[in-house]
Amino acid sequence: MRRERCVHRLPTFSAYRSTFLALAILGATLLFGCSSERDPDYLDVKPRTLNVGDPIMRIRSGVNDTPFDVDISILESLGTVSYSVDDPYELTDVEYEGVLLSVLFEQFGGAESKSVTILAIDDYTQTIPRDHIEKWPLLLALKANGSYSPRSHRGPVMIIYPYDQYPELDPTIYDPFWVWQISDMPFN
């Protein structure tokens, strides 16, 4: 049983504010912040583990088109898997970690959903049919070789097809489905 009685939130200072004002606010916060704060009316049970950060993309439900602006923690809370693949764009083996598209279908698509459209920030678009997701463990990848992918390098999220594990995945057909810099995923 732990009570967090005193949470200091340091104000963010704009450059134009005087040092005096900054110190006055800081001093007041430290002096009076604690004593004036009321005890919470509840006990802490579980700490917050879902840290809502900046949305990185939008997912739209196949049931009613509701948009969900998701961040990395929300995606990771669906569970992640990883595998290595000889990446046709990097021309080397890369270990990708991400959420299975089959899980996103379950969570957002709805039973009637036949496909998902993948839109990228450069307006590149592909529609992935449900049977791809049923046949192969496609990834909405967040990490490459253990690191989050920056937008400048195909991130934050990209589609990965498991070429190494499924030799029937002919690159001439499936390379175009490797969409990167994804902005929106409406289920159809």
Ligand X SMILES: Nc1nc2c(c(=O)[nH]1)N[C@H]1C(S)=C(S)[C@@H](COP(=O)(O)O)O[C@H]1N2
Q: Does 67 help bind Mo ion (rule: CB under 5 A)?
A: no
Q: How far is the CB of 162 from ligand X (least distance, A)?
A: 16
Q: Binding ligand X by CB under 6 A: which of 13, 89, 148, 166? A: 89
Q: Does 176 help bind ligand X (rule: CB under 6 A)?
A: yes
Q: Does 103 help bind ligand X (rule: CB under 6 A)?
A: no
CA neighbor of 84 nearest in space, from 27, 4, 144: 144
How many of the chain's residues bind ligand X (CB under 6 A)?
10
Q: How far is the CB of 22 from Mo ion (least distance, A)?
A: 54
What does the alpha-carbon distance between residue 118 and residue 183 come to, in Å, rounded to a whole number? 8
Alpha-carbon distances, residue 88 vs 48, 92, 139 (angstroms): 40, 7, 15
Given a contact cutoff of 8 angstroms between Cβ atoms, the answer to whether 98 and 145 are in contact is no
Chain positions 118 to 137 lying near ligand X, rule: CB under 6 A, are: 120, 122, 124
Q: Binding Mo ion by CB under 5 A: which of 11, 67, 110, 176? A: 176
Q: Where are the beta strands (DSSP E) in 27-122?
A: 57-60, 67-70, 81-87, 92-100, 115-120
Q: Does 70 help bind ligand X (rule: CB under 6 A)?
A: no
Measured in degrees and rounded to the nearest 5, phi and psi for residue 144 equal: -120, 125
Picked from Mo ion, ligand X, none, the partner binding residue 65 (CB below 5 to 8 A depending on kind) is none
